[in-house]
Amino acid sequence: MTDGIASDRQDKLKALRAEGVDPFPARVAKGQPIAEVLEGFDDKLESTVTIAGRLSQLRDFGKLRFSHLSDRSGSLQIGFERDALQDFWPVRKKVESNDLISVTGVLGHTKKGERTLWAKDVTLAAKALRPAPEKWHGLQDQEQRYRMRYVDLFANPGVRETFATRSKIVRETRHYFDSLDYLEVETPILQPLFGGAAARPFTTHHNALDMPLFLRIAPELYLKRLIVGGMERVYEIGRVFRNEGISTRHNPEFTMLESYEAFADYKDIMNRVEGLFQHLVDKVLDGEGKVTFREKEYDLKPPFQKARYLDLFAEQNPGVDWFEHEQVIARAKELGLKVDGIEPAKLANDVFEATVEDTLIGPVFVHDYPTAISPLAKRMTDDPRVAERFELFVAGMELGNAFSELNDPIDQEQRFEEQVVDKDDETPGEVDLDYVTALEFGMPPAGGLGIGIDRLCMLLTGSTSIRDIVLFPLLRRIDPNANQGSEPTAPTEQPPEANKPK
C-alpha cells in the first residue's frame, strides 16, 4: 500500500539504492541496550559502544548533526560529525527522523554537558517511508492510537512500559501457580459444545468433518475433566471468546486464568487468590500494595473484605426478596431494567448488578451466590438455594469468580438441562453429556477459579480501559484505503449482558 507514503521519502529511498546503500539490510550490529549504556555513563567515557534503534528529529548545524536514538530500554543523544563519518556524511540527508539505524561510537559529552554517543560508524537498518505522526504526544483521538498501536508503542514509552508490566503480571501469575505444584495445561479453543459460562459464542464450521464448532467461552469443563483424570492441580492462561458487547471492561476476545484444585473448596481458593495478590504486590509492585485506579487509591495487600451476596442485595434493595419474582420485577421496573422475556434468576442478578456492584469499592470477596445463577457450583448444605461461590470485586469491577465445584453428575445433568431450556434462540445450547459421563467416573471435591487477566492488568497498571492493556483491541473496520490520518469511527460501547470471567 503506497497511499500516504511521503514522496520525498520515496525519492530518498531510490537515491540510497542508486548509491549502493541497502535501505533494508538483512542484519546490522545491534549492540547493547541503551539503558545499559546509560548506567554508570561517566565511568565509561571514551569507551566504544554500539547501539541500535529509531531516530527522533534531527538538528542540523552544518558540519554537526544531533538526534536522539531510542530503543525499548531508553534514549541517548547521537552526535554526527562530518570529519568522523566520511562514508556516511554524503548520504546523511537521506537518513532522517523515524529511520532505524545502528551506530558505533565513543561515549562523551557535548559542550553543554549532555551525554552523547559520538558516531564513528552508522548503518541504516530500515528506511521509514512514513514519518511519525506530528504532535503524537497528547493526541486526543484514542481510536487512532489503538488502530496504529505500532506507532503508539514507539512514540509513547509509557505504553511500552504498560505492556512490559502486563507481561510481568502474566509471568508472575504462572510462577505463583507453579510454586504450588499446579500443572499448566492447554485445552481446546475450538469446541463442539460451548460451556463453562453464560455467554454467546462465536461459531465456525470444520469442513473436513462437516461439523459446527465454537470458539470457547471458557476452558472450565475440559479442565475439570483433567481433575477427574487425577491431575489434581491444573491451570491454564489463554484466550477466550464471547460474541457480545464492547465496553471499557469488555473485549470480544480476552485472556483468562482458570485453575482447579482437587480436595479444595471455595474458602481454600479465597486463600489462593489472596496469595496471588500478595505475590503480585511483591514481584510486580515492588512490595507497594497501593495502586491508583480511576482516580482512587486501592490497597491490594490481603486480607480482603468479605460480604454475602444476599446481604448486599438486601442492603441496596430493602423490602425485596431475591427469590420472590414479583418483588424483583417491581424493583427492576423502578430501575428501568428490561423485564420482558428475562429468566427470573437472571433478572434478580440484573438488579444486583445495577444496585450493588458500583458500591463494591473493595477488594472484597462477595460470596454465597444463589444456586440459580451458579450452575456449576456446589450447593450449601444448610441452604440449597445458595451455592459455595465467590466473586472478587475492586472498584465495582469483577476480577474473579470461584466455586466449590459441583461434582454430583445427576445434579449437574439436571442443571445443564435447565440451562438449555433458559437459553435464547440466538444462543442454542446442548447438554454436555460427555462431561456428565466424566463426573460419573468420580470427580473429587474441588475448588475452581477464573480471573480475567486483562482486568487484573488494568488494575495493576492503573489503566481505565481494557483497550489500553490489549495490544490489538477489536475495533470497527474502516476502509483500508482511507487516509490513516483521518478521524476514525469509534465503536459503539455495548456492555454484554453476561460476560463473567468463569
Q: Look at the alpha carbons of 324, 330, 335, 336 in this order and tell me if their dihedral is positive or negative.
A: positive
Looking at the structure, tell me whether residues 59 and 87 fall in a common domain: yes
Q: Is 454 a member of any domain?
A: yes
Q: Does residue 426 lie in a domain region?
A: no
pLDDT at residue 488 above 50?
Answer: no
Which domain CATH number covers 198?
A: 3.30.930.10
Q: State whether 117 and 185 are in the same domain.
A: no
The radius of gyration computed from the CA coordinates of the chain, to the nearest angstrom, equals: 28
State the Cα–Cα distance between residues 366 and 342, nearest whole angstrom.
Answer: 24
Number of residues that this document lists for the chain:
502
**With bands split at pLDDT 50, 70 and 90, how would you rate the model's confidence at 195?**
confident
Residues 271 and 179 in one domain: yes
- C-alpha grid cell, residue 41: 555513563
Assess whether pLDDT exceeds 50 at residue 353: yes
What's the pLDDT score for residue 424? 53
Mark whether 282 and 156 lie in a shared domain. yes
357 lies in a domain? no
145 assigned to some structural domain? no
C-alpha cell at 415: 442443571
Residue 263 pLDDT greater than 90, yes or no:
yes
Q: According to the model, what pLDDT value does residue 138 have?
A: 43
Domain boundary among 131, 164, 199: 131
Residue 23 counted as domain residue: yes
Q: Is the pLDDT of residue 338 over 90?
A: yes
Task: For residues 183 and 288, state if they share a domain.
Answer: yes
Task: Look at residue 220 in the predicted model and tell me its pLDDT.
Answer: 95
Single-letter code of the amino acid located at 265: D
Residue 108 shares a structural domain with residue 177: no
**In this structure, are 77 and 195 located in the same domain?**
no
Per-residue pLDDT tens over the stretch 136-150: 454 446 788 898 899
Do 91 and 167 share a domain, yes or no? no
The burial of 192, by beta-carbon neighbours within 10 Å (0-12 exposed, 13-18 middle, 19 or more buried), is given as: middle
* Grid cell locating 195: 460451556
Q: Is there a single domain that holds both residue 249 and residue 188?
A: yes
Helix-strand-coil percent breakdown of the chain, rounded to 5? 30, 25, 40
The predicted model gives 68-83 an average pLDDT of: 96
pTM assigned to the model = 0.90
pLDDT digits (tens, 9 = 90+) for 421-476: 765 554 556 889 999 999 999 999 999 999 999 999 999 999 999 999 999 999 88
Q: Indicate if 277 and 175 belong to the same structural domain.
A: yes
- Average pLDDT over the chain, rounded to an integer: 91
Structural domain for 457, as ranges? 151-303+446-468
How many domains does one find in the chain?
2
DSSP 489: P
Contact between 467 and 367 (Cβ < 8 Å):
no
335 Cβ contact list (under 8 Å, min separation 6): 351, 354, 355
Q: Please, are residues 401 and 501 in contact by the beta-carbon 8 Å criterion?
A: yes
Domain finish residue from 131, 164, 188: 131
pLDDT at residue 132, as a whole number: 81
**For residue 243, what pLDDT is reported?**
93
- The string of DSSP letters for 152-191 reads HHHH-HHHHHHHHHHHHHHHHHHHHHHHTTPEE----SEE
